[in-house]
Structure 1
Amino acid sequence: MTAPHPSRFRRESARISSAVPTGLRVAAAFAWRFLLVVAALYVTFQLLSKLAEVVVPVSIALLLSALMAPAVGNLVDMRVPRGLATAIVLVAGLAVLGGLLTFVIIQFTDGLPQLQQQLNNSLNQVRDWLVNDLHLRQEQIQQFIDNAINLLQSNQAAITTGALTTAGTVGVILTGFVLTLFVTIFFLAGGEQIWGFLMKGVPPHVRNRVDVAGRRGFASLVAYVRATAAVAVVDAVGIGVGLWIVQVPLVVPLATLVFLAAFVPIIGSVVAGAVAVLVALVTNGFVTALIVLGIVILVMQLESHILQPLLLGRAVKLHPLAVVLAISAGLVLAGIAGALLAVPLLAVLNAGIRSLLHETDPHPEAVDVLHDQEAAAPDGDPAEAT
Structure 2
Amino acid sequence: MAGFEFGCTIRWLVAKTIRAGVLHNLVGESSDDSVFQKGSLQVPVVRTSTPRSSILSWGGVARLSLAILIPLLILRWLPLFGEVLVLLFGAALLASALSPPATWLERRGIPRWLGLLLLYLLLLVLLGLILSLAVPVIGTEIERLTQLLPSLVSAGHAQLRSVPLLGNITISPGDIVQFAAQQINTAVNSVTSLAAGIGRLVLNFLLVVVLAYFIAVDAGAGEKVVTRFVPPTYRPHARRLMADSAQRLSRWLWAQGLVMLYFAFALGIGLKLLGVPFAFSLGAVGGVLEIIPYAGGAVAALLALLSGFMVKPILALWVLLYYFVVVEVEAHVIAPAVLGHVIGIHPAAIIVALVVGAKALGIIGALLAIPVAVVITVVLDEVTATWEAEAESPAEEGPPPAVPVTADGDSSDRE
Distance 1:231 1:125 in 2: 35
Distance 2:252 2:229 in 1: 28
Distance 1:54 1:166 in 2: 22
Unaligned runs of 5+ in 1: 1-36, 363-386
Identity of aligned residues (%): 22
2:109 corresponds to? 79
Q: Which protein is bigger by CA-based radius of gyration?
A: 2
Q: Which stretch shows the higher mean deviation, 215-224 or 81-90?
A: 215-224
Q: Which amino acid aligns with 2:104?
A: N
1:370 corresponds to? none
* Matched pairs, number: 320
Give the secondary structure class of the aligned counterpart of 2:386: coil
Counterpart of 2:355 (choices 310, 328, 341) is 328
Distance 1:136 1:341 in 2: 42
Distance 1:38 1:279 in 2: 55
| Residue deviations 1:138-182 (CA, integer Å, cap 9, x gap) | xx83884698489x49x98x8677544333322321221111111
Q: Which amino acid aligns with 1:297?
A: F
- Report 1:154-165 matches (<5 A): 162-165=190-193
Q: Give TM-score, length-normalised by structure 1.
A: 0.71
Q: Which amino acid aligns with 1:345?
A: V
2:100 corresponds to? 70
Is 1:232 matched with 2:260? Answer: yes
Give the secondary structure class of the aligned counterpart of 1:316: coil
Is 1:201 matched with 2:201? Answer: no
Distance 2:274 2:160 in 1: 27
Distance 1:166 1:329 in 2: 28
Counterpart of 2:272 (choices 244, 261, 264) is 244
1:365 corresponds to? none
Give the secondary structure class of the aligned counterpart of 1:279: helix
1:223 corresponds to? 251
Counterpart of 1:141 (choices 154, 165, 172) is 172
Q: For the Cα contact (< 8 Å) 2:268–2:281, is it kept in 1?
A: no
Counterpart of 1:58 (choices 77, 84, 88) is 88
Q: For the Cα contact (< 8 Å) 2:153–2:173, is it kept in 1?
A: no
Shift of 1:101: 2.6
Quick one: structure 1 residues 127 and 228, their matched pair in 2 at CA, closer, same or farther if it must change by over 3 Å? closer
| Residue deviations 1:306-343 (CA, integer Å, cap 9, x gap) | 44455445112111111110000101111111011111
Quick one: structure 1 residues 167 and 178, their matched pair in 2 at CA, closer, same or farther if it must change by over 3 Å? same
Is 1:95 matched with 2:125? Answer: yes
Distance 1:203 1:210 in 2: 10
Distance 1:129 1:246 in 2: 18
Quick one: structure 1 residues 130 and 199, their matched pair in 2 at CA, closer, same or farther if it must change by over 3 Å? closer
Q: Give TM-score, length-normalised by structure 2.
A: 0.67
Q: Which amino acid aligns with 2:246?
A: F
Q: For the Cα contact (< 8 Å) 1:221–1:344, is it kept in 2?
A: yes
| Residue deviations 1:220-253 (CA, integer Å, cap 9, x gap) | 2123223322322322232122122123344433
Distance 1:88 1:210 in 2: 31
2:149 corresponds to? 119
Q: For the Cα contact (< 8 Å) 2:154–2:173, is it kept in 1?
A: no
Counterpart of 1:191 (choices 219, 235, 238) is 219
Distance 1:297 1:114 in 2: 28
Distance 2:162 2:321 in 1: 30
| Residue deviations 1:288-315 (CA, integer Å, cap 9, x gap) | 3322221111111222344445544511
Distance 2:247 2:282 in 1: 32
Q: For the Cα contact (< 8 Å) 2:153–2:176, is it kept in 1?
A: no
Q: Which amino acid aligns with 1:118?
A: L
Q: For the Cα contact (< 8 Å) 1:214–1:352, is it kept in 2?
A: no
Is 1:173 matched with 2:204? Answer: no
- Report 1:277-296 matches (<5 A): 277-282=305-310, 284-296=311-323
| Residue deviations 1:63-120 (CA, integer Å, cap 9, x gap) | 3223333322221222111011000001110221133234322222222333334333
Is 1:337 matched with 2:364? Answer: yes
Distance 1:255 1:131 in 2: 29
1:355 corresponds to? 382
Q: For the Cα contact (< 8 Å) 1:107–1:250, is it kept in 2?
A: no
Give the secondary structure class of the aligned counterpart of 1:226: helix
Q: Which amino acid aligns with 2:271?
A: L
Distance 1:112 1:178 in 2: 28
Q: For the Cα contact (< 8 Å) 1:213–1:356, is it kept in 2?
A: no
Q: For the Cα contact (< 8 Å) 1:235–1:299, is it kept in 2?
A: yes
- Report 1:304-315 matches (<5 A): 304-312=331-339, 314-315=341-342
Quick one: structure 1 residues 128 and 207, their matched pair in 2 at CA, closer, same or farther if it must change by over 3 Å? closer
Shift of 1:271: 1.5
Q: For the Cα contact (< 8 Å) 1:213–1:353, is it kept in 2?
A: no
Q: Which amino acid aligns with 2:149?
A: L
Distance 1:220 1:86 in 2: 20
| Residue deviations 1:35-80 (CA, integer Å, cap 9, x gap) | xx99976753553332233222222222322333332222122211
Distance 2:194 2:103 in 1: 40
Quick one: structure 1 residues 80 and 251, their matched pair in 2 at CA, closer, same or farther if it must change by over 3 Å? farther
Unaligned runs of 5+ in 2: 1-66, 390-415
Q: Which amino acid aligns with 1:338?
A: G
Distance 2:375 2:265 in 1: 29
1:256 corresponds to? 284
Q: For the Cα contact (< 8 Å) 1:66–1:221, is it kept in 2?
A: yes
Cα RMSD (Å): 3.5
Distance 1:243 1:201 in 2: 53
- Report 1:23-38 matches (<5 A): none
